[in-house]
Structure 1
């Protein structure tokens, strides 16, 4: 805009000079007027060339500035795109890490839960077996025929094993019957011996 205004001012100045020169030429002899006219023509031509060159240079500078601005804008756009892509990549990576952490936590919680359940079951089974064994020993001690017999009692998962020596097959049967009457007994393994050292088949 400034260049156009400047260009108009130069044209106005050139026209003023031309009119002044023509006025001077009118006052002088014809030969001098011709010379002066030629000088004015030359001056106007030079001025026009200068104006054109200046306008061309200004136009080139404007084009160069425009290209520079466009390049800068393009670089800025590329940088913004790269930054946005980097941010998206970082967010996706963080999301994957969070998902992995949640998955690992869930696995640990599940494993801990299973471990607690298994431990509880094992502890419960142990307590149940201990309670069964204690009840059977109490029942044997309270029985008039078996209280003096050296009978060893062990219980694993509700299966009771009897070991020891008794005086007769009848006492073996009595001991097995007494154990079978106890709560939570699944089965009885008889390893009792009669004093004749013959293993019982019952």
Structure 2
């Protein structure tokens, strides 16, 4: 839709420049040159606009893909933590940004904190783990 609007604007500009060339004194050849120049300039501007638009769409697509990948990693880490016996996984929050997993919350021992970090690191797509779990005394 946006591309079609740009083309319509370009055609309108082309016609306007062409008609303005016909009003000037001189030969039809000069008017034709004016039309050619206007068409060339308009084509360049349309191409630049389309290139910028395509670049933005590509950037947004890449950002969306990263968000989906991070969401998938977070889900896999949470599932891995839930499946680990003895680990109080409901007290552990998982956040993933750019493949870096951050664990926050509470662990009842250093061993369980380390275990949670190792489980997260073993998940495909995890680049690094930032383990910010705090230790709480068992009751």
TM-score by length of 2: 0.76
Q: What number of residue pairs does the alignment pair up? A: 114
Cross-structure match for 2:44:
103
Note closer, same or farther for the CA distance 1:145–1:86 as it changes in structure 2 (3 Å cut). farther
Which is richer in strand?
2
Which is richer in helix?
1
Shift of 1:160: 0.6
Residues 149, 165 of structure 1: 8 Å contact kept = no
What aligned pairs does 1:101-180 form with structure 2 within 5 A after superposition? 101-180=42-121
What aligned pairs does 1:173-192 form with structure 2 within 5 A after superposition? 173-192=114-133
CA–CA distance in structure 1, aligned partners of residues 100 and 89 of structure 2: 23
Please state whether the residue corresponding to 2:27 is helix, strand or coil: helix
List alignment gaps of at least 5 residues for structure 2: 1-23
Cross-structure match for 1:34:
none
TM-score by length of 1: 0.53
Q: Which has the higher contact order (CA 8 A, sep 6+)?
A: 2
What aligned pairs does 1:27-66 form with structure 2 within 5 A after superposition? none
Superposed CA RMSD in Å reads 1.7
Shift of 1:89: 2.2
Q: 2:29 aligns with which of 74, 88, 103?
A: 88
